[in-house]
Structure 1
Amino acid sequence: MIVPDDLPLSRAGVDRAALLRTQDGFLQDAIADSATRVLLVCDAAVVTAPGPTVALLEPAQVASLLPADDEAWLLLGRDGTGPAYLARRVAQRRPVPRLGEASDVLVHTAPAGTEPAVPPVLPDGLAWTALRDIGAQLTAAEAGLATTAVALDAWHARHPRCPRCGAETRVAQSGWSRVCVVDGSEHYPRTDPAVIMAVVDADDRILLGHAAHWPEGRYSTLAGFVEAGESLEHAVRREVAEETGVLVGDVSYRGSQPWPFPASLMVGFRADATSTDVTVDGVELTAARWFSRAELTEAVRTGEVVPPGPASIARALVEEWFGGPLS
């Protein structure tokens, strides 16, 4: 069993302090408190210092970099009776990578007829860094704060209007909900469950696939979203069959990890294959192969195969099967 708290983006070292989200004046008091620490977030990236480490700024520093915006603050948590941790959302124009490439920072889409906000000039030594690139290198506290901030930022960016009537919504509960200005309905961040699985055959080989939008050589475990009215186990069997034609019998849970790109919870499984003939769907997967440990070792060594990134649960699933780190 993978230990969930050891997965890079599942770690957390700061209390989420959910009861403080609705406490009158707490967020504004925290913004005014010099002891508060603030993380800057834009889409899938946070501001970092060399290390890498998440840059936690004082509110006054944030005020010197960004214009006032009551809708842009998020309460991430608090250490007991210690300082509060906030995130400040930043909308800015950045290069958009092709899917599957090492991501820079994705853009917030500006409303029609408006220009995207100008990026703030960061102090020397600070830089925007994609969470998926550094998640495995952060401390538990930093990883928990950054993952929560990225997830909330993505939700706010994609849900500015009420799904019931289309009217504008306003931020509430210290960034943890939005309220429609017309019908008063409340809306909360969503999480989309997805299954991800190490498919293993009777010869103890693992099945890895190459997605159509990935760079050449990238191979990873199979994955897919859970459909309406579907159990996790059935989703595992369906996704493997649809993408590769391989049939799966027993399915066992291994661990889970948030994947806020933009709103997934990756639920990891080991799946025992009952067939081995592979026929890729040609849409989601363009290739899939069985690997023994020796074959995967050699393929990674030569660069023929690029394994999943260290921040992903896919890497943990592969390394659990492999018996140790992939060099």
Structure 2
Amino acid sequence: MSYVHERLSSARYDRASARRADTDWIDDRWADPATRVIVMAGTRIRPVDGAIAWVSPAEAPAGARLMLGIRDGVAHFAVVTPEQSATDAWLPLRSLLPDLSAEEAPLILHAVGLAEWLRATRFCARCGLPLDPVKEGHELLCGNGHTTFPRTDPAVIMLITHGEPGAVDERCLLGRHPHWPAGRFSTLAGFCEPGESLEDAVRREVREETGVEVADVTYFGNQPWPLPASLMLGFTGVAATTDIVCDVDEIEEAGWFTRAELRAGAASGELVLPGGVSISRSLIEAWYGEALPGSW
């Protein structure tokens, strides 16, 4: 099976990082009418007929220019305009993810990640002076010469199972956030803390959120997730205990589901699972063995 998190993680273009300070090369690419530009307001993207619209540099408005890279010999940029320039028709990343192609997805995630970082990072953490973008938006520089680089926060996301692998009564653990509507469940997730291994982060987050102890932990895959600045690192784990005691601030409800219960709930709509663009969906369907009906 081809899982969606691999589609979103695939490096299908050259980021051309060595060219970001080459102003002559950048100017030549920007003057080329074949160059493609995505227009953003803050982190929202301007659509045309409900789809992402790539325009030429001549059609792009003024704004912060971000050089994304080269795909199939064509340069791709983003232009970020002020947040207030967006109308209700401009779409956030979550609304666009279901329709992203394999070619577009890495470029859009790159653009949104940088735009979110520029929006949130205004002043130097070392001296407090304002920051200005350099190297086509991939670094920020203050008046004292301090350089700030984009941040990526490692987050673990995991499917925990219990029972004989492949057995009819094998179950997986899913939870529901307090702000989600009834019936919406997903895999557990959380951020890695300083000095902590990823495997220990899996065990700690599951224990904190549900009271379940986890033994073996196995790496599954990863997915960039610039909402706002995460790298989702997927794992599977085997439960050592099954009693559930939820941390109600984090997880309002959690439960164990067999494959038959997943199928029946998803088919009826009583159980609403993550969308197909999420590594969470990939974790669930990899364990289930095939695609499941329904999505968020």
TM-score by structure 2 length? Answer: 0.91
Are 1:258 and 2:224 counterparts? Answer: yes
| 2:162 paired with 1:196 | no
Corresponding residue for residue 57 of structure 1: 55
Instruction: Report the CA distance shift for 1:164/1:176 in structure 2 as closer, same or farther (over 3 A).
Output: same
Number of the residue aligned with 1:87: 78
> Percent same amino acid at aligned positions?
44
Note closer, same or farther for the CA distance 1:119–1:141 as it changes in structure 2 (3 Å cut): same
Q: What is the Cα deviation at residue 3 of structure 1?
A: 6.6
Evaluate the alpha carbon distance shift between residue 42 and residue 311 of structure 1 in structure 2; reply closer, same or farther with a 3 A threshold.
farther
In structure 2, what is the Cα distance between the partners aligned to 1:309 and 1:170? 37
CA contact (8 A) 2:4 2:279 kept: no
Q: Is the 8 A contact 1:251 1:272 kept in 2?
A: yes
In structure 1, what residue type is equivalent to 2:86?
Answer: P
In the TM superposition, residue 44 of structure 1 has moved relative to its aligned partner by 4.4
How has the CA–CA distance of structure 1 residues 12 and 134 changed in structure 2, closer, same or farther, with 3 Å as cutoff?
Answer: farther
Q: Which residue does 2:9 correspond to in 1?
A: 10
- In the superposition, relative to structure 1, how do residues 14 and 234 fare at CA in structure 2: closer, same or farther (>3 Å)? same
Matched positions, count: 288
Matched AA of 1:91:
P
- Equivalent residue, structure 1, for 2:24: 25
Counterpart of 1:171, as a letter, is P
Aligned equivalent of 2:139: 177
Counterpart amino acid of residue 24 in structure 1: T
SS at structure 2 position matched to 1:166: coil
Is 1:217 aligned to 2:183, yes or no?
yes
> Given that residues 156 and 198 in structure 2 are in contact (C-alpha distance below 8 angstroms), is that contact kept between their aligned partners in structure 1?
yes
Change (3 A) 1:242 1:220: same
2:110 alignment counterpart: 148
**Per-residue displacement from partner, 1:292-319 (whole Å, max 9, x unpaired)?**
0111112222222210111110000001
Whether 2:239 is the aligned partner of 1:273: answer yes
* Match runs of 1:285-304 below 5 Å: 285-304=251-270
**Ranges of 4+ aligned residues in structure 1 off by more than 6 Å:** 2-5
Shift of 1:43: 4.5
Q: CA deviation at 1:83?
A: 2.5
- What is the match of residue 291 of structure 2? 325
| Structure 2 counterpart of 1:118 | 85
Q: CA RMSD in A?
A: 2.0
**Residue deviations 1:5-59, cap 9 Å, x none?**
8534213422111111121333333333212110112444323345x65311011
CA contact (8 A) 2:214 2:241 kept: yes
Q: Residues 200-241 of structure 1, C-alpha deviation per residue, up to 9 Å, x if partnerless?
A: 012420100001122322100000000000000000000000
Q: Is the 8 A contact 1:133 1:311 kept in 2?
A: no
Q: Secondary structure at the match of 1:9?
A: helix
**What does the per-residue CA deviation read over 1:99-158, in whole Å, with 9 as the maximum and x for residues that have no partner?**
xxxxxxxxxxxxxxxxxx33379xxxxx53332233243222211110100000000000
- 53 and 13 in structure 1: CA distance in 2 versus 1, 3 angstrom threshold: farther
Aligned to 2:189, the other structure's residue is in SS state: strand
**Which residue of the other structure, out of 139, 146, 156, is the alignment partner of 2:101?**
139
Task: Determine which of 146, 149, 158 is the counterpart of 2:120.
Answer: 158
Cα distance in 1 for residues equivalent to 2:182 and 2:11: 34
TM-score (norm 1): 0.83
Change in CA separation of 1:6 and 1:119 when aligned onto 2, cut-off 3 Å: closer
How far did residue 163 of structure 1 move? 0.8
Structure with the bigger RCO (C-alpha within 8 Å, sep 6+) is: 1
Q: C-alpha offsets along residues 166-187 of structure 1, whole Å, 9 cap, x if unaligned?
A: 1101100111000012x21111
Aligned partners of 1:28, 1:272: CA distance in 2, in Å?
A: 54
2:166 alignment counterpart? none
Structure 2: state its 5+ residue gaps: 164-168
